[in-house]
Structure 1
Amino acid sequence: MKSEKKIKKKHCKNFSTGSINITSHGYAFVNVEGFQKDIFIPKNKTNRALEGDFVKIRLNKKKGIKIEGEVLKIIKRKTQKFIGILKINLQSNSKYGSVIVYNNSIHVDIFIPINDEKLKKYHHNDKVLVQIVSWPKKLKNPLGKIIKIFGKSGEYKTEVFSLLEEYGIQYEFSKEVENEAKKISSKRISDRETRKDLRNINTFTIDPLDAKDFDDALSIRKLNDNTWEIGVHISDVSHYIKEGSLLDKEAYSRATSIYFIGKVIPMLPKILSNDLCSLQPMEEKLSFSYIFNMDNQGKILKSWLGKTIIRSDRRFTYEEVQQIIDKKKGDFHEEIYTLFLFSKILTKKRLKNGSIYLEKVEVKFHLDEKKNPISLHLEKNNDAHRLIEEFMLLTNQKISEFVTSNKLFIYRIHDEPDFQKIFFLKKIIEPLGYFLDFKNLKTSINCLLKKIKGKPEQNMIENLILRAMSKAKYSTKNIGHYGLSFLHYTHFTSPIRRYSDIIAHRLLHCYLTINQKNHNNENAYKLKKMEFYEKQSQHCSNKERLAIDVEREFLKYIQVKYIKKFLGKEFYGIITGFTDWSVYIDLLLFQTEGMVRLCDIKEDTYILNSNNYSIIGKKKRKVYHLGDKVKVKLIDINMEKKQIILDWIDNKYFEESIKIK
């Protein structure tokens, strides 16, 4: 404490620097080294600083020990470019139009001079990229110029390309990269004689209906009454993408494909992802295969890893395979049903070993010709999904085990959960009648997941479990995978859409061929130092996180746009969160969150309890907890903020109707 007072005394006579965080109300905070708390900057002392800027401040001591600061100089702007909605009021006498930025990256509107000739090209409510050019002292707002227009706010293309711009995601391939992809696709297979020929074995793919890139295929044949040979065949992308090439650098830069509803931003050009590398039916394709013999009890008797050439006999959708499993008839029905039975054995074994069995419901939308959402359905994993999932999990696990942690490799790791978040989860579910045993956490979580299945609070609790878990990532340092209870795990099965898998393919092929004569030729892959792969691992992890964020952001846009047609309708929802001024509610029919302002609840005046898990009425002392089911009315939509505004239906009538039933 004494040392902190000395630091404060020292800083009060001097200046300091730090990054500024500006609130929506205009006042700010600066993080200064040596202080436990951020330095408060009053609204009139921010001196034209913007969110995230690196600034120089003067520390001013107030009465007592309170210290405030003022911004003296902006050392470096975090950014001068922003995406927002252009507002033009031609009927007013204002000299300026304005760009409103809704993502909290800037706390003021940016003025655009009306006499700007370029402004005539644009329209009210256009979504634009604007650059700040100056901030005159006489103006409360900065002046900017429009450098890109995305289109009318709220339209599909506008939202896709503005979001990609905001997240800094490249969506077009350069001519040089496209030309390199075309050259590769025109070349003939050069190593056919060194590959195991599996073209005459029954092989098929199982993918979503709208899939264009087929990474994986399965083959199966009966060897005798107690033994089946099963093959998991993964597209041999690394055969075509040579390390250091233009294509390789582009794929590494992207690191993952991004999947929007109705659009894909691929990691590789379509001539490769949808054609050459895709395991299309009735075409000879290069693959990297894991082939194993399995007895009727699901025990692996022997296995083989290596490069192969295959020809898929049939392309199945998940829906088609599910029908075959249910009816036990159709193309390859014996093979598919056998794989299904094996997948059930693998699932049972995985759960017995402590794997957490979390199956999230996915919201799927149907779009019309103009890419507007016209209907939705909630998709659950069925037996067909689980069939593919189990064989991909097995392959990723076995390949990682083959390499072992003694060799340099890229692992998919998952750390233990955050204890504080697990404790938070426990506190929330207890009022709902659920419990967690910290001593047997995985078993307890699986029991909880079974108990909540089909209950209104299922989605909320599943989301809380996901938030409590650590984020899976890539690393050369293997610590195992907590969620799957695997000591060794990697990503190998999706090289068309994940660069991490290409790294795994290269390393595995290197280890498989290290003692072969042809390994010494100039085309052989040469191992790098561990630091090289660790850097690549971190890059892939970061890009994966970015892709997840942008996909979620776009899903929210589609959800909000779809739900707009239900204005005025009443729905049931589950309380998922509280703030000092609002209640967040998961609308069960849509699996998306809306908000009710506390001040708009008319049945009583509600305040937030000190534990933040509930609200209580001042008069009637009625308490609402997280997970409680309530009835609400959809009253407004804010497309720009992607907000759903709800009204609270008087829930005493709702409770009475439940009692009557």
Structure 2
Amino acid sequence: MLNFLEKLELGVNYDELNSKQKELAKILLKEKIISEHKKILYLNNLFVWGKIDLTKNGDAYLLSTQTKKDLFIKAKDLNSALNNDLVFVKQKNHSNASVVLVLKRQSEFSIVLTQKLKGLIFGKCFNTGLLRQLKASQKSLKLLPVGTVLRINNENNEILEVLGHISDDLVDEKISMALFNKFEEFDKASLDEAKAYIFDILPSYYPNRKDFSSLAFCTIDPIHAKDYDDAIYFDEKENALYVAIADVSEYVSAFSALDNEALRRGFSIYFPHKSIPMLPRILSEGTCSLNPNENKLVLGFKIIFDSELNVQSEELFSAIINSKRRFNYDEVDEYLKNPIDLKECNYIYKLNKVTNKIRAKRLKNGFNFDTKELRLELNKEQEIINTYYESSTPSHSLIEECMLLANKAAAKRLQEVGIFRNHESPNYQKIAKMYEELQIIGIDFSPTNSLHENIIKIQQLADEIGLRSEVDKIIIRSFKKACYQHKNLGHFALGFELYTHFTSPIRRYSDLIVHRLLKSENEKMYNYLCEDIVNKANSISDLERSAQKVALDFIDRKFARFANKRIGYMFKAIIVNDEDKMSIAVLDDEIKGARVFLYNNCFPIFSNVIVQIIEVDLMSASIFAKVIKNV
């Protein structure tokens, strides 16, 4: 849709539109937002499209690339538009406008919390904090306890579902999912398709696939993983790495019910206690998953290295494998430290040495960041019982380098148009701001013309003062975000000229598209699969961000629950953000990683302090505290 709207500003030929764009064009013509002359569509004067940015008092601004400054929209002129909706407005003057058409809802639903005001029950919106009248009688609303969480229809405020009560720990998962319009259950059509593929895989059924079932493939994943996308095997004699990826495209056909459901979800969502898969579990954890000692269909690359570990050849293969062993990261780390006989999987020791050398070569152009993943452990009532940071280990690095090699090999085989994982270089203003921020914490140096050299130097200085992880976060913040696009722009952070995602089709829709493109038998099929690829790439990037937000929102809610039961308690914390309005600290005590907003702070960033919990807002999952002392 965005691509079509951008073209309207210069004029677009009606005959060149796809079916969905033609339907939209008819609506815009009827509303007199656009005009047609000799089959060329033009945007009429005074009409502007963009996204709604709602304020706390109910008014809004239109965020648009068409105007130099945001247009102001009074609450009475919103015409039912809600926050982040894509709309068309008509300008009243140079700064004011009114909504004439809602093009696309950010969500069909809103989540509200029932509240009592002057004897009446309203719904307070989680996203905006604004009160909404509910389409239900006050008599029935008063039967619900105040603080009930509801999912309502954005068109008419009708109650669709009672999610639970805000006081219940178990409601957090439902809130986080509903806030971002996510659902756990699959529709019947996609489930029926998934069940159709339950059968044993025999090599004789697939004469066109290579039979690699005798090769000692293995998987290496987190200890609690249930779906296994990738398996590896290393042939020491041939100096060849085999990266085999679950061939999900064999079971999920383009434009099928399963495919539509996977595209709607885009990504699997990972909570501390469970996952919400992109594909039905019967596929993601069963038919497609590379479980040990089971024949599985795969698509992969055989990558042969020369004696200097330069890639000599990359052969795409369609095959059957039978994973001989399922490892987890912790045990592989232990074996790499204290080797034992892994029998047919002993090649892991040699492969580790190979990937270490490949990694060292890659980092001459790319970057190595000391990132730590926050992990939560919950009990059956979904209360926090433990938190810890998980750092990258040798086993993580081994698998990462194998996957990077396969992703690069896949990107090379894509045509000019496809799905690429791009990461553009940062702009000068952000880098200059980063240098200023680093000077404040004592990292001062003379920049050269090479950004790569500068960042390496910054990381070395950060190591010397024991702030590597914190400084790496500042560096990453100055970078642009990686995203999916239909044309290749390279990957700055990895130092790659070409890159895509190929290795996780069970949990990422982008990889499923890449698999189909690699398997397309001719250019006609390739182009067919690339239909509407621009919008798909944009949609997948949006879905990636929303999947991440769901998981982060849930974690914030768990921390808010923990803090709400500890009002007045004191904790060790680290100042991580010092802004004019309100500083932010992160707990670094028995519980780690919880963000707290500070009412008072006179200490610089990265100071170790003692904070006292003062207030908690369960609705916004916000914790407020005050600094007691600097330690």
Say whether 1:103 aligns with 2:113.
no
Paired position in structure 2 for 1:504: 514
1:288, 1:307 within 8 Å by CA — same for their partners in 2?
A: yes
| C-alpha distance in 1 between matches for 2:398 and 2:530 | 35
Say whether 1:340 aligns with 2:352.
yes
The amino acid across from 1:634 in the alignment is I
The amino acid across from 1:534 in the alignment is V
1:99, 1:112 within 8 Å by CA — same for their partners in 2?
A: no
| C-alpha distance in 2 between matches for 1:96 and 1:556 | 31
| C-alpha distance in 1 between matches for 2:81 and 2:525 | 50
| C-alpha distance in 2 between matches for 1:486 and 1:233 | 22
**Secondary structure of 1:184's partner?**
coil
- Provide the TM-score with structure 2 as the length reference: 0.81
Deviation at 1:215, TM superposition (A): 0.4
- Provide the TM-score with structure 1 as the length reference: 0.78
The amino acid across from 1:546 in the alignment is S
Paired position in structure 1 for 2:617: 638
| C-alpha distance in 2 between matches for 1:400 and 1:35 | 37
2:267, 2:544 within 8 Å by CA — same for their partners in 1?
A: yes
| C-alpha distance in 2 between matches for 1:162 and 1:194 | 48
> How many aligned residue pairs are there?
577
Q: 1:127 aligns with which of 149, 152, 176?
A: 149
Say whether 1:23 aligns with 2:50.
no
Per-residue CA deviation, residues 201-221 of structure 1 (Å, 9 max, x unaligned), is 222100011111100011123
**Secondary structure of 2:258's partner?**
helix
Say whether 1:163 aligns with 2:163.
no
Paired position in structure 1 for 2:5: none
Deviation at 1:192, TM superposition (A): 2.3
| C-alpha distance in 2 between matches for 1:58 and 1:204 | 65
Deviation at 1:429, TM superposition (A): 0.7
Paired position in structure 2 for 1:196: 210
Say whether 1:382 aligns with 2:382.
no
The amino acid across from 2:623 in the alignment is I
1:96, 1:111 within 8 Å by CA — same for their partners in 2?
A: no
**Secondary structure of 1:100's partner?**
strand
Q: 1:461 to 1:47 in 2, by over 3 A?
A: same
Greater C-alpha radius of gyration = 1
Paired position in structure 2 for 1:419: 428
Map 1:16-415 onto structure 2 (within 5 A).
Answer: 21-25=53-57, 36-38=68-70, 81-87=109-115, 94-104=118-128, 107-108=130-131, 110=133, 115-117=138-140, 119-120=142-143, 122-131=144-153, 145-153=158-166, 155-186=168-199, 191-223=205-237, 227-294=238-305, 297-332=308-343, 334-352=346-364, 354-401=365-412, 403=413, 407-415=416-424
| C-alpha distance in 1 between matches for 2:372 and 2:52 | 39
The amino acid across from 2:615 in the alignment is D
| C-alpha distance in 2 between matches for 1:246 and 1:468 | 40
1:633, 1:646 within 8 Å by CA — same for their partners in 2?
A: yes
Q: 1:170 to 1:285 in 2, by over 3 A?
A: same
Paired position in structure 2 for 1:620: none
| C-alpha distance in 2 between matches for 1:388 and 1:131 | 45
Q: 1:571 to 1:251 in 2, by over 3 A?
A: same
Paired position in structure 2 for 1:583: 583
Paired position in structure 1 for 2:18: none
Name the % identity.
28
**Secondary structure of 1:342's partner?**
helix
Deviation at 1:372, TM superposition (A): 1.9
Paired position in structure 2 for 1:605: none
| C-alpha distance in 1 between matches for 2:52 and 2:421 | 36
Deviation at 1:428, TM superposition (A): 0.7
The amino acid across from 2:554 in the alignment is F
1:201, 1:221 within 8 Å by CA — same for their partners in 2?
A: no
**Secondary structure of 1:394's partner?**
helix
**Secondary structure of 2:196's partner?**
helix
| C-alpha distance in 2 between matches for 1:503 and 1:468 | 30
2:575, 2:609 within 8 Å by CA — same for their partners in 1?
A: yes
1:428, 1:626 within 8 Å by CA — same for their partners in 2?
A: no
1:324, 1:336 within 8 Å by CA — same for their partners in 2?
A: no
Q: 1:284 to 1:88 in 2, by over 3 A?
A: same
Q: 1:482 to 1:50 in 2, by over 3 A?
A: closer
Deviation at 1:293, TM superposition (A): 3.3
Paired position in structure 2 for 1:604: none
Deviation at 1:101, TM superposition (A): 2.2
Deviation at 1:330, TM superposition (A): 4.9
**Secondary structure of 2:239's partner?**
strand
Deviation at 1:297, TM superposition (A): 4.5
**Secondary structure of 1:194's partner?**
coil
1:97, 1:114 within 8 Å by CA — same for their partners in 2?
A: no
Paired position in structure 1 for 2:555: 555
Deviation at 1:471, TM superposition (A): 1.7
Deviation at 1:553, TM superposition (A): 1.7
1:362, 1:379 within 8 Å by CA — same for their partners in 2?
A: yes
Per-residue CA deviation, residues 350-381 of structure 1 (Å, 9 max, x unaligned), is 012x1011231011111112222211111101
2:245, 2:300 within 8 Å by CA — same for their partners in 1?
A: yes
1:457, 1:574 within 8 Å by CA — same for their partners in 2?
A: no
2:366, 2:495 within 8 Å by CA — same for their partners in 1?
A: yes
Q: 1:108 to 1:306 in 2, by over 3 A?
A: same
The amino acid across from 2:234 in the alignment is I
**Secondary structure of 1:346's partner?**
helix
The amino acid across from 1:366 in the alignment is E
Deviation at 1:57, TM superposition (A): 8.2
Q: 1:96 to 1:479 in 2, by over 3 A?
A: same
Q: 1:456 to 1:573 in 2, by over 3 A?
A: farther
Q: 1:325 to 1:241 in 2, by over 3 A?
A: same
1:587, 1:594 within 8 Å by CA — same for their partners in 2?
A: yes
The amino acid across from 2:442 in the alignment is G
Per mean C-alpha deviation after superposition, the further-off stretch among 328-337 and 477-486 is: 328-337
Q: For structure 1, which runs of at least 5 residues remain unmatched after alignment?
A: 1-14, 60-66, 135-143, 602-614, 616-623, 655-661
Per mean C-alpha deviation after superposition, the further-off stretch among 242-251 and 35-44 is: 35-44
Paired position in structure 2 for 1:610: none
Deviation at 1:48, TM superposition (A): 9.9
Map 1:418-457 onto structure 2 (within 5 A).
Answer: 418-435=427-444, 437=447, 439-453=449-463, 457=467
Deviation at 1:75, TM superposition (A): 6.8
Per mean C-alpha deviation after superposition, the further-off stretch among 35-44 and 124-133 is: 35-44
The amino acid across from 1:633 in the alignment is Q
Deviation at 1:506, TM superposition (A): 1.6
| C-alpha distance in 2 between matches for 1:572 and 1:553 | 23
1:322, 1:384 within 8 Å by CA — same for their partners in 2?
A: yes
The amino acid across from 2:181 in the alignment is G
Q: 1:42 to 1:395 in 2, by over 3 A?
A: closer
Q: 1:453 to 1:367 in 2, by over 3 A?
A: farther
**Secondary structure of 1:359's partner?**
coil
**Secondary structure of 2:290's partner?**
coil
2:304, 2:313 within 8 Å by CA — same for their partners in 1?
A: yes
| C-alpha distance in 1 between matches for 2:198 and 2:251 | 9
Deviation at 1:186, TM superposition (A): 3.5
Deviation at 1:390, TM superposition (A): 0.7
2:81, 2:102 within 8 Å by CA — same for their partners in 1?
A: no
Q: 1:527 to 1:384 in 2, by over 3 A?
A: same
| C-alpha distance in 2 between matches for 1:277 and 1:347 | 30
